[in-house]
Amino acid sequence: MTTAAMMIPELRKVLKRLHYPLQVMLVCARWYAAYPLSFRHLEEMMQERGVFVDHSTVHRRAVKILPVMALIFRRRKLPVGTSWRMDETYIKVAGQWKYLYRAIKLHGLPDKITIDKSGANTAAIKSVNTDACLDIELRQSKYLNNLIEQDHRAVKRITDPMLGFKSFRSAQKLIAGIETMHMIKKGQSLCPTGQPMSAAHQFYSPAV
C-alpha cells in the first residue's frame, strides 16, 4: 500500500483516523461488497487469519469506505450512451421492505429512458421533464428493461443473505459499494495503469 500522502484525497480523509491496518479494512470492505457475507462472517474470517476486529468496527468502516470507493470508480466508469434504462429494487431496512431508487449525476442527461410499467417511475420522469423544461423520451417496456433487472438480481444475490440493513442511510452507502464491485467485475471501469487488472487489484488501486 502507498503512504497516506500519495493516496487519493477523498480516501485519505476517510482513513486518517483508522485504528486498524489499511490492508485489513480494504480487504473487509471488498469482501463485503463482492460476496454474500455478513459483518459477523468477516469478523470470524479475520480472526482465522490472526486479525481481531469487531464486526461493528468493520461495519462502521465499510459505511465510510465504500461510498468513497464508489465515487472514485464512477469517475473511472466507461462512457455511457444517451439511452438509459431505469428500474427500482427493494431492500430490507430495520425489518421492513423498502423501495430503493438510484440516480447518477456524472453522465449528463439522457435523450431516452426505458422503464417498466412502474407508475412511480413514470410520474418522476414526467415531473423532471416539466420542472426542468426537458424533453426526455419515456419508453415503457418490460422486455427492454431486462438487462437492468438482471443487474438487480446480481446485487441482490449479495444483499439477500445479509438479513437486511440497520438504516436506509447505511443501506444506500453499502449498496453503492456492492454495485461498484459489480461494475468492476463486469469490466466497466477504466484501469488506472492502462493494463488489465483483476477486480481485486482494481478495487485496491486508489490506495496503492
Instruction: Write out the chain's pLDDT in tens, 208 residues.
Output: 444 445 677 777 776 666 777 888 899 999 999 999 999 999 999 999 999 999 999 998 899 899 999 988 888 887 777 877 777 777 888 888 887 766 565 566 788 887 777 777 788 788 888 988 888 888 877 665 566 666 667 777 888 777 778 888 888 899 889 989 988 998 888 887 778 889 999 999 887 7
Here the cell at position 169 is 442511510
Stated pTM of the model: 0.76
- CA separation for the pair 52, 186 (Å, rounded): 33
pLDDT value, residue 136? 86
Q: Could you give the angle at the alpha carbon of 162 between the alpha carbons of 161 and 168, nearest 5°? A: 135
DSSP 7: S
Q: Are 199 and 33 in contact (CB under 8 A)?
A: no
**How big, in percent rounded to 5, are the helix, strand and coil portions of the chain?**
55, 10, 35
Q: Which domain holds residue 109?
A: 4-207
pLDDT value, residue 5? 43
Three-state secondary structure call for residue 28? helix
Extended strands (E) in 59-111 = 83-85, 89-93, 96-100
- CA separation for the pair 11, 57 (Å, rounded): 17
Residue 136's contacts (CB-CB under 8 Å, 6 or more residues apart) are: 109, 110, 111, 112, 113, 125, 128, 129
Here the cell at position 52 is 481481531
Which of 162, 189, 190 is CA-nearest to residue 175?
Answer: 162
Q: Cα(first)–Cα(last) distance of the chain, in Å?
A: 4
Please tell me the total count of domains within the chain.
Answer: 1
- Compute the Cα dihedral for 24, 1, 73, 202 and give only its sign: negative
